[in-house]
Amino acid sequence: MVDHQYLFIDFEFTMPERSVKYKGFYPEIIEVGIVAVRGNQVYEEYSSYVLPERFPILSERCKSFLGISQEQVDAGIPFAELVKKFEDITADSKKNTIVTWGNMDMKVFRNSCQKGSYSFPLKGQEIDLSMEYKRFFGDQNQTGLWKAVEEYGKEGVGKHHRALDDALTTYHIFKLVEKDKRYLKKHEPTTIGDRVDFSKLFNNLA
């Protein structure tokens, strides 16, 4: 049994054509990337296409934007298998922290579980790293994942809008932000009390 596991997760979702209204449409997961980290080491990387249950035919806009083909998604795992994967990957850890860039990933996953009558398999603290990043750097607007990497003078892993590459990039930013937080904690500005030896000062004044 592991004490603490971090799961860095990225999903790609379906999207409708701009001009077409699909009755009852909601985004569904078509690709998943998971990076499981235990004891500051990558324990597992997982990547798969996922077959949507409600709207299985991808829109042209979705295929073009994500560079994902209908054939790739058709060969993906069923959504039920994705739910089972998360149950398995969290089964032997006492505590799980789920980290995503933005809050849409968990919203879409929760909604899909609800629509398909699946129990939501992830229990633990959820961190929206884009909001952490925004608070930490005082940005007015939420920054895109790969723009955040570039601001660090780094490059993203692989290709943007590939689920596992984005999950790995999220993990890299998380490490950079945590390192900066630790640095700032060590180097907090000194107070006047730290800089002035009051006992000597009072002796001089006495």
- State the pairing for strand pair 2-13/29-38: antiparallel
CB 128 within 8 A of CB 98: no
Spatial separation of the C-alpha atoms in residues 45 and 126, rounded to whole Å? 19
Percentage of residues in the chain with pLDDT exceeding 90?
60
Residue 48, pLDDT score: 97
Work out the average pLDDT over 53-57. Answer: 94
For residue 125, list its beta bridge partners.
97
pLDDT at 195: 47
The residue-averaged pLDDT of 18-32 equals: 86
Cβ-based neighbours of 11, under 8 Å, separated by 6 or more: 29, 31, 32, 33, 105, 108, 109, 163
pLDDT tens column, 104-124: 999 999 999 999 999 999 999
In the annotation, is 155 catalytic? no
Task: Exactly one of 12, 28, 31, 172 is catalytic; name it.
Answer: 12
pLDDT for residue 184:
61
Mean pLDDT of the chain: 84
Given this model, what pLDDT does residue 191 score? 46
pLDDT in tens, 151-193: 655 554 545 668 999 999 899 889 888 877 676 665 555 444 4
Instruction: Assess contact for 48 and 32: CB atoms under 8 A.
Output: yes
Summarised one tens digit per residue, pLDDT across range 58-68 is 999 999 999 99
User: Which pLDDT score, from 0 to 100, does residue 177 have?
Assistant: 80
pLDDT range class, residue 132, cuts 50, 70, 90: confident
Spatial separation of the C-alpha atoms in residues 201 and 101, rounded to whole Å: 52
> Which residue segments constitute the domains of the chain, with CATH numbers given?
2-181 (3.30.420.10)
12 is catalytic: yes
CA 128 vs. chain centroid, Å, equals 7
Choice among 71, 150, 161, 172 that is catalytic: 161
What pLDDT, on the 0 to 100 scale, is given for residue 172? 87
Which residue has better confidence, 147 or 83?
A: 83
pTM here is 0.81
Give the C-alpha separation, 141 to 151, whole Å. Answer: 14
**Which residues face 170 on adjacent strands?**
none
Other Cβ atoms less than 10 A from the Cβ of 92: the count is 10
The CA R_g of the chain, rounded to the nearest whole Å, is: 22
Residue 41, classed as helix, strand or coil, is strand
